[in-house]
Amino acid sequence: MMNFDAGKMVQAAPSAAGAATVPGIRANSRPLSPLAQLVAAQHIVPAFSPIVVAGIVRFIEFVLIAAVGVAIYLGYVYTPATEFDWYYVATAFGVAALAMIAFQAADIYHVQAFRNPVGQCDGSPLRGRSCSFSSRRSCSSHNSATCTRASG
């Protein structure tokens, strides 16, 4: 049988890495040009996965829908003379959860739609969620050319 010891391998790894050379990389490389140093010094904006962006949007929409439901309850239904009813708050969160399920089933979370939501409005009545209400109101007819000129 072969004698296998992980501790010896861990101790040998740093010395082997220093002794080995990687083909294609010169030991004495020349310094970078000023332009290359400028490019290398630029701050890189972290990129987010489309799944993470969609998850953040889902969470924000959930919180906003639930907050609107609770605000409506507190503004129109609840009075200090009455008892606070938790089922209204639970209903607001339930509606928010059902809305998230419906949005997911409709497959509306696309990163391309998040980049320029108002620019996607061409007057088509099928694109209601991505178009702003104000650009819709400014259209005198539902003609695509008219809506594009009014919202663009």
Q: What is the 3-state secondary structure (H, E, C) of 6-73?
A: HHHHHHHHHHHHHHCCCCCCCCCCCCCCHHHHHHHHCCCCCCCCHHHHHHHHHHHHHHHHHHHHHHHH
Dist. CA 39–CA 13, nearest whole Å? 34
Q: Does residue 38 sit within a domain? A: no
Regarding whether 123 and 110 lie in a shared domain, the answer is no
On whether both 88 and 139 belong to a single domain, the answer is: no
- The answer on 99 and 66 residing in a single domain is yes
Give residue 129's domain range: 118-152
Angle at alpha carbon of residue 137, lines to 134 and 142, rounded to 5°: 130
Q: For residue 121, which phi and psi values (nearest 5 degrees)?
A: -80, 115
Q: Name the DSSP letter for residue 109.
A: -
Model confidence, pTM: 0.51
Whether 32 is covered by a domain: the verdict is no
- The pLDDT of residue 59: 95
Does residue 6 lie within any of the structural domains?
A: no
Residue 87 lies in a domain: yes
Q: Return the ∠ at Cα 71 (arms to 67 and 75), rounded to 5°.
A: 180
Looking at the structure, tell me whether residues 91 and 125 fall in a common domain. Answer: no
Confirm whether 59 is domain-assigned: yes
How many domains, the chain?
2
Q: Does residue 34 lie in a domain region?
A: no
Domain membership of residue 13 (yes or no) is: no
Using the CB atoms, write b or e for 64-94: b if 16+ within 10 Å.
ebbeebbeebeeeebeeeeeeeeeebeebee
Residues 106 and 123 in one domain: no
For the segment 92-125, what is each residue's pLDDT rounded down to a tens digit? 999 999 999 999 898 888 877 777 766 555 555 5
Are 86 and 123 contained in the same domain? no
Does residue 81 sit in the same domain as residue 104?
Answer: yes
> Average per-residue pLDDT in the chain?
74
Per residue of the chain (152 residues), what is the pLDDT tens digit? 567 776 666 666 655 555 555 566 666 677 888 888 888 888 888 888 888 888 999 999 999 999 999 999 999 988 888 888 899 999 999 999 999 999 989 888 887 777 776 655 555 555 544 444 444 444 444 444 444 444 44
At residue 10, what is the residue type?
Answer: V
93 and 135 belong to one structural domain: no
Q: How far apart are CA 95 and CA 63, in angstroms?
A: 11
